[in-house]
Amino acid sequence: MHVVKNKTQDQVEVAKGGLLDRRRFLLSGATFLSVAGVSQIASQSHAKDFSKFPDHMLTPGFPSEDYGVPSEYENHVKRLPEEVYGSAIITAAFTPLDQLNGIITPAGLHFSVHHNGIPDIAPENHQFMIHGLVENALKWSVEDLLNYPMVSRFHFLECSGNSAPNIISDKPLDWTCGHIHGQISGSLWTGVPLKYLLDEAGIKPNGEWAMCEGADSANHVRNIPLKKLYDDAIIAFYQNGERIRPDQGYPMRLFCPGYEGNMSVKWLHRIEISDIPSQSKDEQSLYMDVTSDGRIRQYSYTMEVKSVITKPSGKQGLPESGLYEISGFAWSGRGKVNKVEVSADGGKTWANAHLEGPVMDKCMTRFTIPWQWDGKETVLVSRATDEFGNVQPTRADWVSRFARFSHGHNNSINSWHISPEGKVSNIYV
Amino acid sequence: MHVVKNKTQDQVEVAKGGLLDRRRFLLSGATFLSVAGVSQIASQSHAKDFSKFPDHMLTPGFPSEDYGVPSEYENHVKRLPEEVYGSAIITAAFTPLDQLNGIITPAGLHFSVHHNGIPDIAPENHQFMIHGLVENALKWSVEDLLNYPMVSRFHFLECSGNSAPNIISDKPLDWTCGHIHGQISGSLWTGVPLKYLLDEAGIKPNGEWAMCEGADSANHVRNIPLKKLYDDAIIAFYQNGERIRPDQGYPMRLFCPGYEGNMSVKWLHRIEISDIPSQSKDEQSLYMDVTSDGRIRQYSYTMEVKSVITKPSGKQGLPESGLYEISGFAWSGRGKVNKVEVSADGGKTWANAHLEGPVMDKCMTRFTIPWQWDGKETVLVSRATDEFGNVQPTRADWVSRFARFSHGHNNSINSWHISPEGKVSNIYV
């Protein structure tokens, strides 16, 4: 473990609770590197004692696989399946955020929500059509669309219900970061800009809305303003380089950057252009927010600015006081992350974390800050600001704006309690 | 298929052979969208005829997996294993570049080369040591190192022997792009900057070289100037968000951005600091280049600027004349890609392709350009230039500089022949 027993001149506090100046910290080679857990090697002849070599250095290894898989020693790193509302019909699988790093989620660990299971769609049995208020109602085969010009963009995808446990439960649940916040993942999405296809069909003057329907047996439908589809929506065929997988909408999905996940309709097979939204069943129930004054907020698409610390986080432990790197990620459905502040004293004082570049539009951004933990009880908090000045609200502020049972679009500040024993657990601040 | 039968005012040629101005092309909605293969929908009532619905819309789907896998309909997309030099000892698996898009390679399809198989290393059986010309010889457990500060960077990794078939064979082999050029892949690599660990050990004044050794049973060793390890080398623990896999060096590998792949020593367990390079067995044989005047080029680390068109590429086919998007990627081990030129007339005239951002340091960069194929025999060529003005050489130029049997570091220009029937095949230009 990373422990420096005594502070030195290179450890300049930038906020209370032991948050350190990163630049000076990183320049301080010798200081940083006084690590308790590291062994001095008594004799350099160690390297020449072949009897001590492990078996894997003395016997040939195994061959490459056609399609590789993770190490058997990492098979605890998996998605966290959950039945939402106790039903098997709507199921969700969460990304184990606390086991990952960087801003890319492997497709095998991407979160997934589906309302009636994942359909098994052979590409030759799938077509895509645009009809309604258009000059030419058109349909395409998957093969047709794969020949259209494509763009590639790094984006997050987040479920509107992400982090709902922190709203639903009056007391903070002692769960992992992935279990609470794991309905967000990051990928490179590659596909055809939807504007090409809309222009091909030719939108009639009164066409303003697009009813987007998936080919799953839940018949998932969302209504989206045409402007969004023209701005930056794509039909995605590739995720992180390879064709998207069944639970991400194979053979094709809509992708609406920055919007709640369910707008990026999976298994997309139909867009009907209309003058008004068609009010689909989920838009009349599941995907509405109820505000504290009893009003309905419908078509609340954008996922607002948010952040979460993944290390240390719930159910992890700090073995002893000393030096640690706090790491997490931030995102905003409105654009780029501009700033992430971290507090090591429960929100009284704050320091700016380092943002790992490139900081991209509507994309996860990793942040880090060095932290000297003094071994006392404390609370770690992160607070993100996006390029338009939007700031993560406190939980109390967020809760005051919505009805008690409304839990979508929770972008409130997240906090982790550190006990003197180094136990990390979820807490509301 | 994407076909425009007649050129229009929006199709402005920027080079011979039908290369089009991308900006005008993309603005030309209506023109672009005159696609022959797309069906007009006769009646909009089609959408309401439930008897025509496929089974996957009428029956519940399947649940999420703990760790997802690609669609069964994509199981032809796999790595291409090959025994190099007819031996089972050194084996290589190639990335199927022509099946992928974007600049990220899924870990399961990342190319892999290993000299005596892939070792099965339990993390608790692995240690990393720095010794030799240091103040303090140190060793770390994997757990220790996972607590160090980490950085995340997008980089390509390319084998020094990539594209060797185009040198070894006097006649161009009629292979796929992946089979010829598939020893390059792109990932987000996350790990500990090596400079922290080197400073912790304390390099003695005469320490200038690092002998880096893997814990595989081939005992792979490379000697690397300390300067590189201080500049931008990391010990990588994560690839595309998750822990690196066995064939990429689990539990940890060295990663030297821009250098030939074998320098990024997998299963890294030892660095010995010395004043001169130790001349490992592979450095005395496999990883040397022989120039045409009979001299030896040793320690030729950097992978030079290069590009390849992936669509259309070898073994693919164009069904008929018409409009296509040419897509490929470029990279340079020296820095960023500055420009990719494409020729549709075998290299006589050139046009600048569009570079898909963000263009990152020592990272794959995707390029695209629209192309109106007139149905006649032609040759597509790409030529990359990096930010330092380095340009891909022709094959003839490259071959003139090296001995006939020397085939490492082939960064020469790649070309695809298009027959009047639309058959795409490898050709030397």
B139/A197 CB distance under 8 A: no
What's the Cα-to-Cα distance from B377 to each of A378, B242, B343, B344, rounded to whole Å?
72, 46, 14, 10
The total number of residues written for chain B in this structure: 429
CATH superfamily of B118-175+183-287: Oxidoreductase, molybdopterin-binding domain (3.90.420.10)
Stated as kind and residue range, the H or E segment containing B142 is helix B142-146
Distance from CA of B397 to the nearest CA of A (A): 33
Residues 279-308 in B contacting A (C-alpha not used; CB under 8 Å): none
pTM: 0.94
A66/B47 CB distance under 8 A: no
CATH topology of domain B306-427: Immunoglobulin-like (2.60.40)
Confidence of residue A11 (pLDDT cuts 50, 70, 90): confident
Q: Which residues of B touch A77 (CB under 8 A)?
A: 242-243
Q: Return the pLDDT at B91.
A: 84
Q: Return the pLDDT at B27.
A: 53
CB atoms within 10 A of CB A308: 25
Confidence of residue A6 (pLDDT cuts 50, 70, 90): very low
Residues 126-155 in B contacting A (C-alpha not used; CB under 8 Å): 126, 129, 131-132, 136-141, 144, 147-152
- How many Å apart are CA A19 and CA B243, to the nearest integer? 27
The values of phi and psi at residue B400, to 5°, are: -65, -20
Structure tokens at A3: 């422990």
More confident residue, A136 or B54: A136
A65/B251 CB distance under 8 A: no
Each domain of chain A, given as residue ranges in start order, spans 119-169+183-287, 306-427
Confidence of residue A208 (pLDDT cuts 50, 70, 90): very high
Confidence of residue A97 (pLDDT cuts 50, 70, 90): very high
Please, where are the H alpha helices in A28-123?
29-32
Single-letter code of the amino acid located at A214: G
A366/B152 CB distance under 8 A: yes
Closest residue in A to B366 (Cα–Cα): A152
ipTM value greater than 0.90: yes
Q: Which residues of B touch A114 (CB under 8 A)?
A: 61, 64
Q: Return the pLDDT at A41.
A: 60
Under DSSP, the state recorded for B335 is S
B217/A107 CB distance under 8 A: no
Distance from CA of B401 to the nearest CA of A (A): 34
Mean per-residue pLDDT, A137-143: 96
Please, where are the H alpha helices in B294-414?
395-401
**A219 in contact with B at a CB cutoff of 8 Å?**
yes
Architecture of domain A119-169+183-287: Alpha-Beta Complex (3.90)
Q: Return the pLDDT at B154.
A: 98
CB atoms within 10 A of CB A8: 12
- How many Å apart are CA B11 and CA A118, to the nearest integer? 42
DSSP A249-281: TTT-EEE-TTBBGGGS-TTEEEEEEESS----T
Q: How many CA atoms lie within 13 A of B70 on its CB side?
A: 24
Mean per-residue pLDDT, A332-351: 98
Confidence of residue A281 (pLDDT cuts 50, 70, 90): confident
Q: Which residues of A touch B37 (CB under 8 A)?
A: 140-141, 144
B117/A368 CB distance under 8 A: no
A102/B144 CB distance under 8 A: no
What contacts A280, CB < 8 A, 6 or more positions away?
A211, A221, A222, A223
**A243 vs B70, B105, B117: nearest CB:** B70
Disruptive mutation site among A1, A49, A103, A104 for chain B (greatest number of B CBs within 10 Å): A104
Q: Return the pLDDT at B128.
A: 97
Q: How many CA atoms lie within 13 A of A264 on its CB side?
A: 31
Distance from CA of A363 to the nearest CA of B (A): 12
Q: Which of A288, A282, A274, A301 lies closest to A221 in space, CA to CA?
A: A282
Residue A3 has pLDDT above 50, yes or no: no
Closest residue in A to B57 (Cα–Cα): A217
∠ CA B11-B14-B18, nearest 5°, is 60
Closest residue in B to A116 (Cα–Cα): B60
pLDDT digits (tens, 9 = 90+) for B217-269: 999 999 999 999 999 999 999 999 999 999 999 999 999 999 999 999 999 99
Distance from CA of B403 to the nearest CA of A (A): 31
**B103 vs A60, A188, A325: nearest CB:** A188
Disruptive mutation site among A52, A65, A320 for chain B (greatest number of B CBs within 10 Å): A65
Single-letter code of the amino acid located at B145: L
Q: Return the pLDDT at B313.
A: 98
Q: Which of B373, B258, B194, B105 lies closest to A190 in space, CA to CA?
A: B105
Mean per-residue pLDDT, A404-426: 97
Whether the CB-CB separation of A134 and A204 falls below 8 Å is answered with yes
**A238 in contact with B at a CB cutoff of 8 Å?**
yes
B79/A99 CB distance under 8 A: no
| Interchain CB contacts (distance < 8 Å): A and B | 367
CB atoms within 10 A of CB B295: 10
Q: Which residues of B touch A104 (CB under 8 A)?
A: 104, 188, 240-241
The total number of residues written for chain A in this structure: 429
**A243 in contact with B at a CB cutoff of 8 Å?**
yes
A103/B188 CB distance under 8 A: yes
A32/B200 CB distance under 8 A: yes
Arithmetic mean of pLDDT over chain A:
91
Residues 34-93 in A contacting B (C-alpha not used; CB under 8 Å): 35, 37-41, 44, 46-47, 54, 56-74, 77-79, 81, 91-93
Residues 389-418 in B contacting A (C-alpha not used; CB under 8 Å): none
- How many Å apart are CA A283 and CA B213, to the nearest integer? 58
Cis peptide before B358 (omega within 30 of 0): yes
DSSP B233-284: -EEEEEETTEEPPGGGTTT-EEE-TTBBGGGS-TTEEEEEEESS----TGGG
- Give SS3 for B124: helix
Stated as kind and residue range, the H or E segment containing B351 is strand B351-352
Distance from CA of B303 to the nearest CA of A (A): 22
**A57 vs B46, B102, B215: nearest CB:** B215
Strand-pairing partners, residue A189, are: A153, A239
Distance from CA of A316 to the nearest CA of B (A): 12
- How many Å apart are CA A213 and CA A271, to the nearest integer? 6
**A61 vs B118, B197, B272: nearest CB:** B118
In this prediction, the residues of chain B whose per-residue pLDDT falls under 70 are: 1-10, 24-51, 83-89
Residues 311-330 in A contacting B (C-alpha not used; CB under 8 Å): 324-325, 327
Residues 15-44 in A contacting B (C-alpha not used; CB under 8 Å): 26, 29-30, 32-33, 35, 37-41, 44
**B120 in contact with A at a CB cutoff of 8 Å?**
yes
